[in-house]
Structure 1
């Protein structure tokens, strides 16, 4: 299956203690060695680079664990979760599958995933960043491992910015444009461009509506309470985020079709040079490098009260039905999240690591390595309290609320107060259903 990063733009929505993989087994503690033999079924989607990374990791795992085998089943993203849901219902799910963080909570909350807390050794969590580990928790227990992440920064058309006199591009997260500075840049672009072109596009289409939450986090806000039991969006931060983002449309800073329910992805407008900038994940870099004929670069998303960003990417989870293979699963999860495997996977697929040591030391993308610090730095803006909310078991229902109510604000022109009231009511209903 061939899937470009551009095709995934709308579907994809940051000191480690290493585990030992020795010879024929996974060593969860100094006192106990358990067998890592048997066969695992593993279902995923992916770009060519991602699938190549998985195959390389699987080959290394099988070599390190004689008697083990991992059968990789690659499916189109559009079929991935309808297949998984049907298999779960029929009682024949794969042992392991890949899942976006914003979907993880629904499976964990319904009791469909394997609780890994009894099978992962003490200290396993230490290899990951706090925000990554928070994204695979349900009820304080891990039901998956954070395999990689991605987050949205700004890709820009250099000539378009030059023509507008915008030449001071932030090169450090601490120097990212404030909301006011970002608006000023956008207004300069608006004045410098013809009516049919726009300053920027935002990648919040489809399930990517979770990326709107970045603006909420940048105002140091929440959409759920700390125990994830109720809405917390009725706040000054929530009102600031709604007010700022809905102003993009009447001020003509984004194309009219850049709403959350648009069938056109924001990246398409940037590719055809209808927009000068676009919010995008790092996984777009290889495809953009191959396809674009203009000079382009990347800079950080704007900040308000603080820097903030979306926690994209995917986890690896095991189904509860695979409990009899728990030690083999734990060994496989340990292997694919080791330093060498994660660095190789992320560098070649232009994705971001979830290991704390790789985040601290940085990685270099195989394509456009000079852009790596922008995306690694942007991912560091995610806080554990942000990613933990997205792991809510009710996130799928919350996504629908965000889509409906933000569309009414962006396209329908509904005011901020009414939008916040509707978001609060909808989120409360979603989490109590």
Structure 2
């Protein structure tokens, strides 16, 4: 009897709200995303709209911040005991977030279908100490983009397979007067520079940590920074790279002002869009190169996940939203700026059509993704390395000394 009365009342309420021309929202979720790279803000809004349409009793408030603000916004909201239900997090944060109880352990919520269907490499994005703290959402690595027309003009038949070849080809382009500074990188004193550095560390077979202690001061870690400094001081690299983030690199490349650029997946379709780009139809993409005798290709794990905050008052609804956002159906529908986490998506013509070259590069690059160091003190380590890279590029100190100082300041 009570149940039928409640249903009748609920029906009347819904009817009243409908007549008032308002949407009925029983629960509001607050979700934090980033305003750059990967999915566009419009895409995230469209995905969310599909979710709220299918779940009229749920409303989702979306907030977008630049990548640089994502970590601090999440942590500060946590400290104030409220804020967000769902947050986007980088692959480098699960260790810290798990240790400080920022995210909910969702290991038991993951279904068999998810376990079997999602690429194994994608799961590493959300894991720490054998547990899962969300669902992988953006599967990403940096690729080497090149301008086919410029290479052709320089008489270069195939893109570089090694980093040394890249420097040689850039020198040919410069010597022939086609472009003064053929290479663009994201070397601003920010996480972007660490992603480029990690790509090179992976190529040179380096290690960040050994037994939890810094191991990047010699071997591949030092080789990687030496390469960056040589590329910068040789005049082959755009000198503004030391201030560039990924969006700056995209703009320079799209304007035809770079022959080579290291960037995330999202640049491929934007740089090929005639409305956005002067080089549409001339964009080539391959995995980032390797180092002779050490690696075939190189790649950084730049993936991101969606998690439920420990302070969320609506964890069930938050999980429902995350499942929708990471579902194969949603990911396949928006596969032009970020490639799906689902293995079988790569055999789907609707996903691969028009981006076959990118998919071919992704199959190699995603399999070679190298992690940035897994440590709860990642933020301190990253800050110390960012400073080391800047100082070495500017010639304020040698690469060896810069990395030694970074190791001392890393908190490890």
Answer whether TM exceeds 0.5 for this pair: yes
Is the alpha carbon distance of 1:58 and 1:265 closer, same or farther for their aligned partners in structure 2, counting shifts above 3 Å? Answer: closer
Is the alpha carbon distance of 1:83 and 1:405 closer, same or farther for their aligned partners in structure 2, counting shifts above 3 Å? Answer: closer
CA distance in 2, matches of 1:136, 1:317: 8
Deviation at 1:303, TM superposition (A): 1.0
Deviation at 1:419, TM superposition (A): 3.5
Match of 1:188 among 172, 179, 204: 172
1:336-376 Cα distance to aligned partner (Å, 9 max, x none): 322211111223xx11222233356687368x524432552
1:256-282 Cα distance to aligned partner (Å, 9 max, x none): 222267899333433444332211222
| Contact 2:32–2:84, Cα closer than 8 Å, also in 1 | yes
| Structure 1 SS opposite 2:92 | helix
Match of 2:276 among 270, 291, 296: 291
Q: What is the aligned-residue RMSD (CA, Å)?
A: 3.2
Aligned residues: 376
Deviation at 1:401, TM superposition (A): 1.3
**Rg (Cα) greater in structure:** 2
**TM-score scaled by structure 1?**
0.76
| Structure 2 SS opposite 1:248 | helix
1:13-44 Cα distance to aligned partner (Å, 9 max, x none): xxxxxxxxxxxxxxxxxxxxxxxx95533232
Q: Trace 1:248-397 onto structure 2 (pairs within 5 A).
A: 248-259=231-242, 265-288=248-271, 289=273, 290-294=275-279, 296-300=282-286, 301-304=288-291, 305-306=294-295, 307-322=297-312, 325-347=314-336, 350-359=337-346, 364=351, 369-383=355-369, 386-387=370-371, 389-397=372-380
CA distance in 2, matches of 1:152, 1:120: 28
Q: Trace 1:112-127 onto structure 2 (pairs within 5 A).
A: 112-121=102-111, 124-127=114-117
Query: 1:150 aligns to what?
Result: 140
| Contact 1:363–1:372, Cα closer than 8 Å, also in 2 | no
| Structure 2 SS opposite 1:115 | coil
CA distance in 2, matches of 1:52, 1:299: 25
CA distance in 2, matches of 1:94, 1:123: 28
| Structure 1 SS opposite 2:266 | helix
Which consecutive unaligned segments of at least 5 residues does structure 1 have? Answer: 1-36, 170-175
Is the alpha carbon distance of 1:218 and 1:363 closer, same or farther for their aligned partners in structure 2, counting shifts above 3 Å? Answer: farther
CA distance in 2, matches of 1:362, 1:244: 39
Deviation at 1:404, TM superposition (A): 0.7
Q: Trace 1:10-409 onto structure 2 (pairs within 5 A).
A: 39-46=28-35, 50-62=40-52, 68-77=57-66, 80-121=70-111, 124-169=114-159, 177-193=161-177, 197-205=180-188, 206-211=190-195, 212-225=197-210, 229-259=212-242, 265-288=248-271, 289=273, 290-294=275-279, 296-300=282-286, 301-304=288-291, 305-306=294-295, 307-322=297-312, 325-347=314-336, 350-359=337-346, 364=351, 369-383=355-369, 386-387=370-371, 389-409=372-392
Is the alpha carbon distance of 1:143 and 1:156 closer, same or farther for their aligned partners in structure 2, counting shifts above 3 Å? Answer: same
Query: 1:412 aligns to what?
Result: 395
**TM-score scaled by structure 2?**
0.79
| Structure 2 SS opposite 1:380 | helix
| Structure 2 SS opposite 1:40 | strand
CA distance in 1, matches of 2:246, 2:143: 22
Deviation at 1:293, TM superposition (A): 2.3
